[in-house]
Chain A
Amino acid sequence: MTTSVRPLPGPPREYHFPRFERHVLDNGLNVIVAPVRKLPVVSVAAVIDAGALHDPAGLEGLAELTALSLREGTTLRDGVKLALDLEMLGTSVEAGARWDNTIASMTVLTDRLLPAFEIFAEVLLSPAFHEDDIVRLKAERLAERMQVMAEPRGLADESFDRFVYAADSRYAEPMSGTTGSISRITRENVAEFYRDNHVPGATTLIIVGDVSVSEGWKLAESVFGGWSGSKTELSREADRPARSDRSVRIISRPDAAQSELRIGHRGIPRSHPEYFNVTVMNAVLGGLFSSRINLNLREKHGYTYGASSYYDWRRQAGPFVISTAVQSEVTGEAIAETLREIERMQTEEIGPEELTLATSYLEGVFPIRYETTASIASALAILETYRLPENYYDTYRAMIAGVTTADVLQAARRFVEAEKLQVLVVGNPELVRTPVEALGIGPVSVGEPVDP
């Protein structure tokens, strides 16, 4: 009835990442245009070198609040009119800060690009920062903090960072700030952060989609040409680990229906030369559905709906995290199985089949990642933010293909530091504490969620 003969692939068709061209305006604004003539759609993104790492100590969340405040009105139109004028054109501006940048972006149909682009520029160039809007945004951010503290996944992510990084390192605090730090931010802080950081010399404007290079440049020149301002560089150590020995922290949620589990340690910065080896190693360990940790915890044992691992790539060393949620009663076993998988990664070379599963996946999905104008703009934003080589996306698949089983073993030994693993559980201490102590991983402490 069905055929048992598995089909073989045909010859692959060539793919290359969209061509893009770069142009720097006199005011220092970097403009990248990538024509993609598939549908009548254009995505625009302004990538500003003003991430959460620029937050002054004690005012964590300022980069994010400043980004959000951009959408609350300009000197020419108030917040309601701004939203409505864009939405009548079928679009809206999204804005937010990550660790290493602030991004404002929109996607619009080509025939509405011109008027939408003018408003987009207005948002970046002439924000009003009305006091009452900032007060309201702060209230919304504080409500969001309450939501995070009540939501086990977000609480686990945040508590893990706080456990892994030293208290005075920026990475110990949430990217968008805490209740205390958000409360302290004033309108003057926002205006000052904007003045010092949202400047053309620190911004890349990316235009992707149904436009030509010359149209894109002309558009950029016409509305951003008059923008001015310069930037002061800063560097602040953000990634010092809290300790170098294994330890376990339980964040108490007596009513938890499950244990949210995070296992890991400080990882490595995005600029690390071993990036590709680590990426392939992580795919084998926990980066894919068919990775070792997921097959073990989910498909072999049924402990969880899913388990994965990742390196959170940032300019400084973001965390390496194994993340899962397991039935409370098997929390100890799930940790033990995870540690076993780590040990296996570090003691034996993976087989060639396992290597090609990871490499051919990463090579194959590459074009699928860049089907939309918005995703291409995001890729170019990463290129800018992490100052990757101009041909990075042209060489990506070759770099992945070049990783060997020996590279993976070496990466697992160097960049998964078994003796430094930090284990964090958000769950019911009555069910979890004893079995976790019995594992003998390291000292176990129990605490409450904190939101300073």
Chain B
Amino acid sequence: MRIPIEQFRLDNGLLVALSQDKTAPIVAVNLWYHVGSANERAGRTGFAHLFEHMLFQGSANVGANEHFELIQRAGGTLNGSTWLERTNYFETVPSNQLALALWLESDRMGALLPAMTQTKLDTQRDVVKNERRWSVDNQPYGTWWEKLPELAYPDWHPFHHSLIGSMEDLEAASLEDVEQFFRTYYTPDNAVLSIAGDFEIEEAKALIYRYFGSIPKGGGKPPLERIDLPPKFGEQLRLVVEDDVSLARIYMAFRSPVFGSDEYYPASVCGAILGMRRGSRLYRSLVREKQIAADASAFTFDLAKGSDILVADVTALPDTSPDQLEAEVGREIDKLATDGVTADEVARAVALIETDMTTAMQSAGDRADRISMFATLLGDPGLVNIQADRYRGVTAAQVNAFASDRLGKDNRATLLYVPRPKQSGDGSTELLEVAAP
């Protein structure tokens, strides 16, 4: 299945991708800025995400929170999100409201700073601190998504530090930081604009030129230095965390090929064989047969630079000790690395991935988001149309080559959550760093 894509670039460097589908009167506008937590400077962890919040606080011609109000009043949905390598903003609206969505995005890309105030920054800082409490501090295992990158990437690496940020760094963020970040990263030449759904190509182009054409090109962003890593950790990394959880859980990460590379597809299929749905290795072995786990899955972070990670995530049953959990997951990984996979396992994984990719294309918002992803991370929106072929081309031999190379003991970072003993004191999180066994 192919979707139509027309792409072009404005003089100011903005890359535009259009994908028409008139089956419903809906259109999605999707902007990816090629900046994420990886671009934060020292002492400003969490800033890229805090900045995402500030983009909803108005711009030269839009009041605070008016972006939300105007889109909802138009009958649309919207949001934004921040990841290590990118930040995205998106609206899905009735197709007769395309101009509104484009105008709103252009106003904040072209003229955000006049609307920025200390009060708005202070309020959003409080909101983000509460987001941190809600999603990290007050959630069982909530710290995993900062602890795992901390363990899996060296402390000098751009992917090492917390995406949501520390309370101290959030506290330190200033209006000057907002201005500098905006001028450096929120420029048309560092962004991709995708439109998917019901629109007329020429009308959309005219609107894009009108609203985005005069926004000046940026002065270039500083490159991410020292992002490349060796293909393997070269040792076993391990961190044990006692936490307010009732069941032990393990996250076992493997350095893996970056998103979109030739080697990525066998790695992704290997992840699906390991942990996608109930027919996967981990689920069948640990949940169904040995009955030591409550759930099991595997996924990749989909990072396009430096090094990606493939993560196996398994939650124990109450009677399973953390050691047993770790040993059994290790055994499954060993088996896969040593004995390899079958052609049927590859076929199962590819069939599931193919269905997911096709069904995602039903939604204009998902369609636009994937186009933006390929355009931003790999420079070509059209790659969305060859993904199924890339997956269908994966062979068991390729998966086995990946598994024997990358799933060995010299390429594992293990984050193990252990239930805290009931009567232990003040509730502060104890960390036990344990040497590699």
Point out residues on A near B: beta carbons under 8 Å. 1-4, 6-15, 38-41, 71, 79-80, 83-84, 86-92, 107-109, 112, 136, 139-140, 142-144, 146-147, 149-152, 254-258, 260, 288-290, 295, 298-305, 325-327, 356-357, 360-368, 370-374
What mask results when residues 94 to 131 of chain B are scored 1 for a CB within 8 Å of chain A, else 0?
Answer: 11110110110011001100000000001111111111
**Chain A residues with Cβ under 8 A from B94's Cβ?**
9, 12-13, 364, 367
Question: A258 touching B96 by the CB < 8 A rule?
Answer: no
Kindly list the 3 A-B residue pairs having the minimum CB-CB distance in the complex, ordered from nearest: A364-B75, A302-B126, A255-B427
Q: How many residues of B contact A (CB 8 A)?
A: 87
Answer yes or no: B364 CB below 8 A from chain A CBs.
yes
**Chain B residues with Cβ under 8 A from A357's Cβ?**
69, 72-73
Question: A146 touching B124 by the CB < 8 A rule?
Answer: no
15 A-B pairs with C-beta separation under 8 A:
A2-B106, A3-B210, A6-B100, A7-B102, A9-B100, A109-B358, A140-B294, A144-B294, A298-B127, A305-B128, A361-B75, A363-B75, A367-B24, A368-B92, A372-B363
Answer yes or no: B317 CB below 8 A from chain A CBs.
yes
Question: A360 touching B73 by the CB < 8 A rule?
Answer: yes
Question: B246 touching A150 by the CB < 8 A rule?
Answer: yes
Report the bound CA distance from A212 to B216 in whole Å: 52
Question: B133 touching A325 by the CB < 8 A rule?
Answer: yes
Report the bound CA distance from A301 to B207 in whole Å: 37
Q: Which of B25, B26, B92, B210 contacts A14 (CB 8 A)?
A: B25
Question: B134 touching A325 by the CB < 8 A rule?
Answer: yes
- Given A2-B110, A2-B214, A361–B72 Cβ distance below 8 Å? yes
Question: A371 touching B364 by the CB < 8 A rule?
Answer: yes
**Chain B residues with Cβ under 8 A from A41's Cβ?**
358-359, 362
Distance of B222 from chain A, by nearest CB (Å): 24
- Given A2-B211, A91-B355, A9–B25 Cβ distance below 8 Å? no
- Given A143-B294, A149-B246, A302-B127, A136–B288 Cβ distance below 8 Å? yes
- Given A2-B214, A92-B277, A147-B246, A299–B64 Cβ distance below 8 Å? yes
Answer yes or no: B1 CB below 8 A from chain A CBs.
yes
Report the bound CA distance from A108 to B356 in whole Å: 9
**Chain B residues with Cβ under 8 A from A139's Cβ?**
291, 317
- Given A290-B69, A327-B129, A368–B351 Cβ distance below 8 Å? no
- Given A83-B277, A136-B291, A368–B26 Cβ distance below 8 Å? yes
Question: B358 touching A40 by the CB < 8 A rule?
Answer: yes
**Chain B residues with Cβ under 8 A from A1's Cβ?**
110-111, 214-216
- Given A14-B25, A299-B64, A87–B216 Cβ distance below 8 Å? no
Question: A257 touching B138 by the CB < 8 A rule?
Answer: yes
Answer yes or no: B137 CB below 8 A from chain A CBs.
yes
Answer yes or no: B10 CB below 8 A from chain A CBs.
no
Distance of B268 from chain A, by nearest CB (Å): 16
A83, A90, A92, A301 interface centre (most CB from chain B within 10 Å)? A90
Report the bound CA distance from A241 to B277 in whole Å: 40
**Chain A residues with Cβ under 8 A from B61's Cβ?**
2-4, 6
Report the bound CA distance from A3 to B355 in whole Å: 43
Report the bound CA distance from A370 to B102 in whole Å: 23
Report the bound CA distance from A80 to B345 in whole Å: 13
Q: Which of B72, B93, B130, B140 contacts A327 (CB 8 A)?
A: B130
Question: A12 touching B25 by the CB < 8 A rule?
Answer: yes
Within 8 A of A (CB), among B203-256: 207, 210-211, 214-216, 244-247
Answer yes or no: B184 CB below 8 A from chain A CBs.
no
**Chain A residues with Cβ under 8 A from B103's Cβ?**
3, 6-7
Report the bound CA distance from A111 to B326 in whole Å: 41
**Chain B residues with Cβ under 8 A from A6's Cβ?**
61, 100, 103
Closest-by-CB residue of A relative to B245 is: A150
Report the bound CA distance from A40 to B21 in whole Å: 15
Question: B76 touching A368 by the CB < 8 A rule?
Answer: yes
**Chain A residues with Cβ under 8 A from B93's Cβ?**
364
**Chain B residues with Cβ under 8 A from A361's Cβ?**
72-73, 75
Q: Which of B138, B198, B211 contacts A256 (CB 8 A)?
A: B138
Answer yes or no: B323 CB below 8 A from chain A CBs.
no
Q: Which of B72, B100, B215, B244 contacts A288 (CB 8 A)?
A: B72
Q: Which of A7, A40, A146, A254 contacts B246 (CB 8 A)?
A: A146
Answer yes or no: B344 CB below 8 A from chain A CBs.
yes
Closest-by-CB residue of A relative to B317 is: A143
Question: A13 touching B95 by the CB < 8 A rule?
Answer: yes
Question: B279 touching A371 by the CB < 8 A rule?
Answer: no
Distance of A154 from chain B, by nearest CB (Å): 10
Question: A39 touching B358 by the CB < 8 A rule?
Answer: yes
**Chain A residues with Cβ under 8 A from B198's Cβ?**
13
**Chain A residues with Cβ under 8 A from B244's Cβ?**
150, 255
Answer yes or no: B83 CB below 8 A from chain A CBs.
no
Answer yes or no: B361 CB below 8 A from chain A CBs.
yes
Closest-by-CB residue of B relative to A397 is: B75
Question: A90 touching B354 by the CB < 8 A rule?
Answer: yes
Within 8 A of A (CB), among B137-155: 137-140
Report the bound CA distance from A325 to B134 in whole Å: 7
Question: A371 touching B317 by the CB < 8 A rule?
Answer: no
Answer yes or no: B352 CB below 8 A from chain A CBs.
yes
Distance of A24 from chain B, by nearest CB (Å): 29
Answer yes or no: B396 CB below 8 A from chain A CBs.
no
- Given A15-B24, A327-B133, A303–B96 Cβ distance below 8 Å? no
17 more CB-based (< 8 A) A-B contacts, given A39-B361, A144-B294, A367-B26? A2-B60, A6-B61, A12-B25, A83-B278, A83-B279, A83-B284, A88-B344, A88-B351, A139-B317, A143-B294, A254-B427, A289-B65, A290-B72, A302-B124, A302-B126, A303-B130, A325-B133
**Chain B residues with Cβ under 8 A from A140's Cβ?**
287, 294-295, 317
Question: B278 touching A92 by the CB < 8 A rule?
Answer: yes
